Every structure is written in structure tokens, then in C-alpha cells.
Structure 1
Amino acid sequence: MSNTSDLPYRPCAGILLTNKVGQIFVGERIDMPGAWQMPQGGIDDGENHEEAALRELEEEIGVRPRHVEVLACTKDWVTYNLPAHLLGKVWGGKYRGQKQKWFLMRLKSNDTAINIATEHPEFARWKWTDRESLLTEIVPFKRAVYRVVLQELMPEQS
């Protein structure tokens, strides 16, 4: 395909994980120091969105389904396009970006349930953060997605 707009979006599930006081989990990517993100990953064939989200949560940060409560999911897909410098370099060049279903989950256990030293680690370190810090620390091309996700799943109280 010569036109990137002809490429499909990669189906993905994302997790907005909060602790008991409403802070948000973020991990710093091993391959991009200084780039923080929430857990997310592709949806496998035959998996529904929630199954994929729970699998990704365990694969990326060691949190098992029994340690979380699923509270909400985005109504629609949230999409983003890869920046030009990443097109053709990630996901085998098969996608122009991702379409994501995001889940709000609350950690029911304490922080010891979190273990980023997984079989295929994605994060160098992790922390709990607030919505403002999350939006400033995320890679710029995902910022609009995170705004939409926060607005839908964790609207600010007035």
C-alpha cells in the first residue's frame, strides 16, 4: 500500500488502572526512557476486548485478574495515527496506528501485586500519578487519546 491512509488500525486494549485513592498507574517504557504510558496491547484473534485487557495487564505488570475490579469501558474505539517517523517501523509496517478499547480498573490488592519484571518486560520502572502529570509525561502522539480516555472513564468532579 503506497498510501498510509489505506493501512488499517491495529486493534488494541488499554488499561487505566487506579489504586484505592484514585491515582493512575504508569510505566516508563524500557525502549523509550522518559516515555510513560498505561498498560496496553494487541487483541489476539478470538479474544474479546476485556479478555485482552486482562491478559495484557498480567503480561505487562504481573497483575492478575483477581487483583482488579473492572469498572468501565470506553463506548467506542479510540484511535491514533503513528507519527511519520514510526510508520513502517513498528508492527511490521502493517498498521497506521491503533484503535483501542480502554478499561477503567481498580487495583483491589496492595502494590505488591504489581511486578514489572515479567517474562518480556516493557517497563523499566513504574509509579502512581495524577491525571495532569500523566498528560504531560505521555508521548505527544498519544496525548489526545489519553485525554479522551480520562474524560470518558474518569471525568473530573466539579
Structure 2
Amino acid sequence: MVRYRPNVAALILNKDGNLLICERYTVPGAWQFPQGGVDSGEALEAALFREIREEIGLEKNHYDVLESRGDYRYLYPPDVRAKKIKKHGNHGQEQTYYLCQLKDDAPPINVNQSPQEFRAYRWIHPEEFDLDWLPSFKHEVYSSVMQDFFGISLMPES
């Protein structure tokens, strides 16, 4: 039986409608949204607040959660899957995405948290998101998320 680890991810918009993306600390050129696993017994929204605080230094009073959508799933690639099954017993992740609006009085994003997940951040128009920033096993999920939340198709037309 395939098991998925619960995960939450944040789509954070600023007042100009730009979307926050963060560059992985250990993988230069890999950009993604703040996200992370849900601890045992932890509510999804509580995990969202914790992950945003841990990864980019914002408290829950610095943004509003506008909506959420879930059941986005992906499998870890085969070379990683065995390690992940050993570590937490899961073959992949099932993500719930939260669309968040940054408040005007929020402090600047701070990716210099400990432990450091990200090396940099930037704000982009949602249609500027590029699947080449991600490993291929995440392409389908990110494409679905961008379509569902922003009506943007990232997959090449066949």
C-alpha cells in the first residue's frame, strides 16, 4: 500500500499580486514555495503557521489565509523513496496548499532561519513560475496548483 506524508505549502501573495518563491539552500537554482511536513497529531493549519515561521520568519498575524486546496500527491523518485520509507514510512507526499495574502505591515521575509531551508527569495508574477526550477517528479503537482489557484497552465501543450 502506498503511503503519503501529509504536507502543507504556502502560496504567499504581496500587495502587488506577486508570489513568493524561495531558493533551496542545498540546491542552487531550485525554487519552490515554503512548505513542510505535518507532525503527528498536528492540524494542517497549525503546520502551515509553524512552517512559515520556521522557514521565512513570518508569524500568523503577518498574513491572511484566503483559501486552501488539498490532495495534491506525488511519489518520491525511486532513488529517494527507500530512504524516505525508512525515515517516516511514506512513499510520497500529499500536499495541502494555502493561498495567503501578506499584510501591509508584515516584516521583510527572512530566509536566514535555523536550520536554514532557503538561501534566497524573490517575488514573481505567478505566470513567471518555471517548472525547470523543480525536480521533474514535482512538475504535475505544481502545474495543477498553478492552474487551480491562478488559472495558469505551466505544462507544455501537446
TM-score (norm 1): 0.86
Render the CA deviation track for 1:94-114: whole Å, top value 9, x for unaligned: 221100111000111367431
**Shift in alpha-carbon separation, 1:25–1:96, aligned structure 2, 3 A:** same
Name the stretch that deviates more: 134-143 or 15-24: 134-143
Render the CA deviation track for 1:54-107: whole Å, top value 9, x for unaligned: 110111000110110100000x31101111222223472622110011100011
Identity over aligned pairs, percent? 35
Structure 2: distance between partners of 1:93 and 1:85: 16
The alpha-carbon deviation at position 119 of structure 1 amounts to 1.8
Render the CA deviation track for 1:4-34: whole Å, top value 9, x for unaligned: xx34111111111111111111111111111
Match of 1:151 in 2: 147
Secondary structure at the counterpart of residue 73 of structure 2: strand
1:78 equivalent to 2:72? Answer: yes
Secondary structure at the counterpart of residue 89 of structure 1: helix
Give unpaired runs (5+ residues) of structure 2: 153-158
Match of 1:98 in 2: 93
Q: CA RMSD in A?
A: 1.8
Tell me which of 121, 127, 134 is aligned to 2:122. 127
The alpha-carbon deviation at position 46 of structure 1 amounts to 2.4
Give the aligned length: 150
- The aligned amino acid for 2:112 is A
Match of 1:139 in 2: 135
Give unpaired runs (5+ residues) of structure 1: 1-5
Secondary structure at the counterpart of residue 54 of structure 1: helix
Match of 1:14 in 2: 9
The alpha-carbon deviation at position 140 of structure 1 amounts to 2.1
Secondary structure at the counterpart of residue 52 of structure 1: helix
Structure 2: distance between partners of 1:15 and 1:38: 6
TM-score (norm 2): 0.86
Match of 2:53 in 1: 58
2:58 touches 2:107 (CA, 8 Å); kept in 1? Answer: no
